[in-house]
Every structure is written in structure tokens, then in C-alpha cells.
Amino acid sequence: MHKIFYLFLFLILGCSKIDKELPISLQWEFSMDSETNEYLNKFTITNISKSTLDKEWAIYYSQLPREIQFDSSLPLKIEAVNANFFKISPSNNFKKLEPNESVSIQFTTNEGVSNVSQQPEGVYWINLKKPNEPISINLKKNTLFSEKYQSVNLKKIYDENNLLLSYSAPLTEVDVLPTVKKVDYNLGKITLSEKVALKYDSKFKNEAMLLTNKLKQLYNIDIDEASSMRINLAELVGEGYSKNNELYLLSIDSNDINIYGNTNHGIFNGCQTLLSLLKQKEKPYELSCLTILDYPDLPYRGQMLDIARNFTTVDNIKKLIDVLSSYKINVLHLHLTDDEGWRIEIPGIEELTTVSSKRGHTLDEQNSLLPGYDGNFNANENSSGNGFITRAEYIDLLKYAQQHHVQIIPEIDSPGHARAAIVAMNARYKKYIATDKSKAEEYLLADFNDQSTYVSAQSYTDNVMNVALPSTYKFLEKVFTEIKDMYKDAGVELTSIHIGGDEVPNGAWMKSPACKELIQTNQLHSTKQLSEYFFKKVSRILHGMDLKFNGWQEVALNNTHGNDTEFIGNAQAVYCWNTIAEWDSDEIPYTVANSGYNVILCNVNNFYLDLAYGPHPEERGHMWAGYVNETSSFAMLPYSIYKSSRKNLSGEELNLDSLAHNKLQLNKDSKQNIKGVQAQLFAETIRGYEWVEYYTFPKILGLVERGWNAHPRWDNLTGNKEKEEYNKDLALFYNKISLCEFPYLNKLGVNFRLPHPGIKLIDDKVHINTPITNATIRYTLDGSDPTETSTIWDSPISPSGNIIKSRIFFSNKSSLISTLIITQ
């Protein structure tokens, strides 16, 4: 057997139509050497024109960052132009290429191509004689799945599904997401007809309007004040009900449905539970008479959406808010800026959006950023790389979110992850330096004499604001002021701004003349100390504006005591994400909480939505921290952080009872500092809004449950009893998803993800399963892809060939294909 066995991809790149200006075709091959574990790549260029090809050309493409090594004697060379943007061009050894001749470059990379998100994309050709006329080259691929993937992972999926199915039980009427705290049943039933009266206190007008719209949209129930059936929204009175401002009481009797709350948010939550109770029902909608008392355990339940790396429009953000709020998610953290884009209009600094809200082919980045990720080279095209939110749109978005009881927290990432801002201010400098020096330098973020060398986590070498320049702080104060004014004009309270603060690479600032002077004046000695200097300056700016700051975990780790004391007073919350035991980082959230900071748990191994659901080659997403699916988020335990991952990065089951041994514990007095949970959706691999939804649903539904109910019944159990109770709860969770949430999301037009089936050969019979109730499993035995007309699997089958393909179908959706290759 040849040593190249793992994965072999041929990507043949050619024009979508015959184009006389495009003289080449391009082929990419990838494989892994099983003996050396090297990742082998090969690009082959063929001259398909009738003319000789000289050296005056270049080919560009985008791919997630990787180091490249090749033999310099080859006729071609390949280089990273900028992190995830690459260039193939003739080397000095390239002579010419006659018609029908081919030339290749073989190279190795330090990263593989485990799924579709890792492959090259956005390929285009440039004739250097016409440098501003790029020509797109479409990507075509033929993927051969690895035998290793089929034989190991599909069997593991089958066994996990089988375990869930063994614990599956019918849903009760009140099995909604998130699970309600307390239910008391009363005698009798109530039937909602096509019309119902709605009575409410005037201060609950907004909630009444939202309920009216949802009853009509989801269940075709109209509001008619003449109806004898009534829904009443009223203030909750009585002792003991004021401790939680999201608490509600839902009471159903033979004539009325009463929703009580001591705040508008409580009323809203009660309305969402009523709507959820109807998810399992068909007309006529019959409900049992009961009383529900319910409230969340954690006040902060959020999602972070990155619209900087790839853009999501306001209309789609509103759609997302509408769905998230129905699950009682109450925070949307908008990642507005990063290296690859600036997505919020700031009056007075127009270059942030005229330059850095778009990506395209450019020679100087004076009018756009370089391409990246999606690879689009047209800065004026409607694509995921281009776009921003205008001031008016943001104000409108804030109002919409407030109506749905969702707080929007804006993030302006600094001082790292700031390349888009830096490029924009460099472009501003060039535009004005000849006519208005003070305006050119007013918001400058870079020291042009800085010779520092560094590489960021995403492979950038020029993405850190210079912390010694007064103009850096003038820039941030201007941005913060404009954002605060947007909230004021929207009539929405702004309490904090997220300043990022993460992943400043070692080496930044160390060879900047401006920073050297700052270091000497303030007796600083490292990148870390300069970061602290920056955080102190920025937190004081925000404090002067009556605002607090939020930041990623770096703002609270390894600070000097004096700075920690000041930061704790000025910080609203610290967002802790690095919780992987193998990296010795799982103590970070409790370290930060015990230091006195408020903590938002953003566990990468539970809540990073942009990590792929699993190892399927066609599954989009990252895998640098393993895989995350709805089970991962469901398993998270806010107050038992070390038991929050039931598997290691290799997918092996862990002994939960020993994971907390010799680990830092959360102090009793620090428990109050755990304020909430948040899912993160970074956008490097997103290519349109349908992927925002795909990554989010159903993956976030585990967070929905855990943010509301932080102490499941298996939280403090051990051994087999813990496993049994966990499996019961997980099976119930999947039944809720199958029978309630998937039909609901489908009704809303949400693009959710269906898991591909497990397949296992048992006693020479093929067994296929899925945890999704009411899903249809279809299969083929001839190597063709299963369709809606393929044979339904309902019992073990004898294979007639050596390739079994299967997928599940649910409503109008289908899963990825599971392919089992039977070897003799």
C-alpha cells in the first residue's frame, strides 16, 4: 500500500466560462505522508492558451494561515502576502511556458486540510501588465474520504447514538427549553381557539405586541378582545418575588392564561414559555391547567457574533435576535472590529468604513483591505467580506434588541486584532499629510519607525496599535464617544464597552522609538507591562465617560496588584475562554473570579460555535480546540468547571471524578462573581448568513439550558449514578430538540444543522442510527449519494458492496453523508 493514504484532494480550478484573457488552468493536490506526517501540497499550472506564457503574472488565493516550505530552485514560488492571503508567482528559475505545457510547485505546510474550511479558495489571476484587472478562477474539487474517518468515527457516533436512544423517554407537556424551575398541575384543560383576548397593564404594551405577533406568526391565533378566552399580562405582587428581575409566574386555568412579572423582562420570559408550551401542539391547542414559577440562575446568557472578519447585515442580526430571545438569551456581544474588517460607522473618521469595511484586490490598501478568508477580490461586490453598519442602522438595531430584552455589547478590539483600524488610519495619513499634517496624524495608530517583529495568533505581523502614541487614545476616545452617542440617541442604556485586550503577541512595541521612550519614562520592561499601561489608560477614558470596560481574559491575568485593584473597579466583566485541561488553562475562570472580577464563562471546549461539529471532511469550521456540538454546550457546568468537558481533545472519555483533584477551587465568596455564560461565533469560516445559523443551531441550545439551569441533577453526583442521570437528561434534551425545536426553527426559516448518522457493522449486518426523533434515515449500497427517494433504513441490512452511504432527512433538510467503507 502506498504511504500516501490519509486524504487526497484534487482541486481543479478553471474558468466558469471560456475567457480568452485567462491562459492557464490550475490544479491543487494535497496528501499526508503516513511515515513523516508531512502535509504535502502541489499546485500545477497548465498553459491552455495558444501563446507562450512569460513571467508577467501572479495567482492569488485565500486559505487559513499556515507556514510554507519549498525548494527555492523550483520555477515557481509561493508566499503569504498577509496571514491568510497567498501568492503564487514565477521564480527566477521560471523561463517560459509554451502552450499545453505544465509547471508545478511542491511544498509542505505545518497545517493539514482536515475539512472544507481548510482548503484554498477565492483563487484569481493577475496579468501584471493589467494589474487592476483580476480574473476569478472557480474551484472544483473531488474529495476522497479517508478510510480512517469512516471506520473509527462512524462507529463511535453509532455507539453514542445508541446510548442516547436507550435512555429516550416521551416528552411531557412542560418539556421546553430552557427547562422551567417549578411546575404545579391543577385539574382541567384549556383550549386555545383561533382567537383570544389579550389584557395587559399599559407598561407591558411592548411585550403584548410581541406576543400578539408571535401567536399569529407561529400558531395563527388572532387577538380578539371579544373572545371569552383571555391572556392576561400583569404585575406580580407578593413577598419573595422581587429577588430576580427575570422571574415570572405563568398560571393557566379553565378560562385564563395569566403571566405575571415584576419587570417587563419577566413578562417577556413568561410569554416565551407560553409560546414554547404550544410547540408540541396541533390545533386545537389544548393545555393543562398548571402553574409555573421560573427564573434564570445566571443573569447573563449571551452570544458573541463576529461581524468583523465576515459581515452579517443588520436585517440578519435582527433575525438572529428574534430567535435567540425566544430562548431567553439576553445579551448579544457584537465583535465589530478586527484585523480583517471595521464594521461600524464612526462620524468624523470616515476611512474606517471607506477603506476598512471592504476587502479587494489592492496594491496599496488605500481604498480597501487585502482579500482574505472568503477570497473575494471585488471590494464593491455584495459579499461576506464587504459591508458595515451605518450609524442610523445601529441605532435602529439597538431599539429592536431592547424591544426583545437583548442587550447589545459593542466590542472595539484593541490594542491587538486592530489591523483594519491601523490600515484605515494609515490611509487617512497618506490622504491628508500633504495638505493638513495635524489631521493626518490626529488618529494615527502606528509608529512608522517601529521595527518590532512579531507574529499574532492569526499570523499577522502588523496588527497592534502603538500604545505610546497620544493619537491612539484620542482615536479610541473618539470611537467610544460616538458609540455612546448612538446608544443615547436610541434611548438605550450603555453601561460598558468591550475593549478586547486579547492576543497581543510577544515582541510588539519592543523596537518602537515611541515605545522605548515610554518604557524609559515609566520603567516598563515587557509587552505585558505595556499592555497593562494601555488597559489602565483606556479604562480611565471609559470611567471618565461613566462607562465600565469588558475584556477577554488577558486583561485580568498576571497583572500587578495595583493595576488589578483599579481594573476590578472599572471592569464590568472578564470573558474567560481558555478552559482546556491539556493546556493547563482550565483554572483560568476561577483564578479570575477569585481575584475579584466578574466572570463570563466562554469556555472554548463548550461554547465556541465556530469549532466544527465533528471530524467529517465536509463539516465546516475550525478544530484547533477540538470539536463542539450541542452535547458539548449542554455538558457545561458553571460551578464545576473541570467536569464541563467529558472528553479530551482526542475524543477519549474522561474520568470526571478525578478532574478537580489538585485544581484551584472557586472560593465560596467568589461564586457570586460568575455572572453568566456566552457562546462565541468567530467568522473566519463563515461565507454567508446561512452559516451563522448553521453554526448556532442547535449548538447554542445547550447554553440556553445551562445558563437558565446552572445546577442540573447530575452536577454533584459521581460515578455511574452521575453518568446515568446525565444520559437521561441528554436524551431528554435531544427529544426536545427533535420534537420541539427543529420544527420551530424550520417554521422560522432558520438553517439548523442535522447530525449525520452513525453506521456500524454488527455480525455482518449494517446498522444505522440517529438521535433525532422522527428523522428518516436513507441509504445506498452502490456508492451513489442518498437522496429523498433512496431506500429507507428501518432494520439491519446485508451489504451488497463495500461502500454504504447514508444520511438523515428531516422536513426539508438533510445531513451530511456518512460513508462506511468495508475492507476485507
Average pLDDT, the chain: 93
424 Cβ partners below 8 Å, 6+ apart? 342, 349, 351, 352, 355, 356
Predicted TM-score (pTM) of the model is: 0.95
Tell me the sheet residues that pair with 24: 47
What would the mean pLDDT of 225-231 be, rounded to a whole number? 93
Predicted local distance difference test score (pLDDT) of residue 142: 57
**What's residue 14's pLDDT?**
36
Side by side, which strands form the sheet with 57-62? 76-82, 85-90, 57-62, 121-127, 135-136
For residue 24, the surrounding DSSP H or E stretch is strand 24-32
* The Cα angle at residue 615 between residues 610 and 621, in degrees rounded to 5: 20
* pLDDT of residue 9 exceeding 50: no
pLDDT in tens, 52-70: 999 999 999 999 999 999 9
**Residues 739-746, mean pLDDT to the nearest whole number:** 97
Domains for the chain: give ranges and CATH numbers: 8-144 (2.60.40.290), 153-169+720-824 (2.60.40.10), 182-294 (3.30.379.10), 300-390+404-413+447-480+494-708 (3.20.20.80)
In the DSSP assignment, the letter for residue 738 is I
236-264 tens-digit pLDDT: 987 667 679 999 999 999 889 999 999 99
Q: pLDDT tens, 315-374?
A: 999 999 999 999 999 999 999 999 999 999 999 999 999 999 999 999 999 999 999 998
Dig out the grid coordinates for 536 from the structure. Answer: 489602565
| Measured distance CA(293)–CA(296) in Å, rounded | 11
d(C-alpha 201, C-alpha 456), whole Å: 54
pLDDT at 824: 64
**Mean pLDDT across 450-460:** 96
Q: Is the pLDDT of residue 184 over 50?
A: yes
Question: Rounded distance, CA 729 to CA 497, Å?
Answer: 37
3-state SS of 157-171 is HHHHHHHHHHHCCCC
In the chain, the amino acid numbered 265 is H
Residue 787 confidence (pLDDT) above 50: yes
394-414 pLDDT, tens digit per residue, is 999 999 999 999 999 999 999
Can you tell me the distance from the alpha carbon of 593 to that of 322, in angstroms, rounded to the nearest whole number?
A: 32
DSSP string, 304-350: EEE-SSS---HHHHHHHHHHHHHTT--EEEEE-EETTEE-B--TT-T
User: At residue 311, does pLDDT exceed 70?
Assistant: yes
Region 95-116: mean pLDDT is: 94
pLDDT of residue 151: 64
> CB–CB of 411/335 below 8 Å?
yes
- Tens of pLDDT, residue by residue over 606-632, are 999 999 999 999 999 999 999 999 999
The pLDDT value recorded for residue 237 is: 86
What's the rounded mean pLDDT across residues 746-754?
A: 97
Q: What are phi and psi of 318, to 5 degrees?
A: -65, -40
Residue of 147, 503, 722, 725 marked catalytic: 503
Least confident of 30-34, 79-83, 411-415: 30-34
Q: Catalytic: 79?
A: no
Phi, psi of 68 (to 5 degrees): -120, 135
- Paired residues of 97 in beta bridges: 53
Per-residue confidence at 1, pLDDT binned at 50, 70, 90?
very low
Report the DSSP pairing between strands 674-681 and 599-601: parallel
At residue 19, the pLDDT reads 42
Q: Tell me the pLDDT band of 466, cut-offs 50, 70 and 90.
A: very high
Could you read off the pLDDT of 412-423 as tens digits, one per residue?
999 999 999 999
Mean pLDDT of 194-200: 95
Cell digits for 775?
A: 428523522
Task: Give the pLDDT score at 525.
Answer: 84
- For residue 586, the SS3 value is coil
Q: What is the pLDDT of residue 800?
A: 85
pLDDT tens readout for residues 488-520: 999 999 999 999 999 999 999 999 999 999 999
Q: What average pLDDT score do residues 25-45 get?
A: 89
- For the stretch 131-172, pLDDT in tens is 999 999 877 765 544 545 566 789 999 999 999 999 999 999
Q: Tens digit of pLDDT for each residue in 272-294?
A: 999 999 999 998 899 999 999 99
Confidence of residue 21 (pLDDT cuts 50, 70, 90): low
Q: Name the grid cell of 35.
A: 511515515
Residue 20 has pLDDT above 80, yes or no: no
Q: Does position 12 have pLDDT exceeding 60, yes or no?
A: no
Q: How far is CA 587 from CA 257, 404, 619, 665, in A?
A: 46, 35, 31, 8
Task: Give the model's pLDDT for residue 462.
Answer: 97
As to burial, measured by CB atoms within 10 angstroms (0-12 exposed, 13-18 middle, 19+ buried), residue 187 is exposed
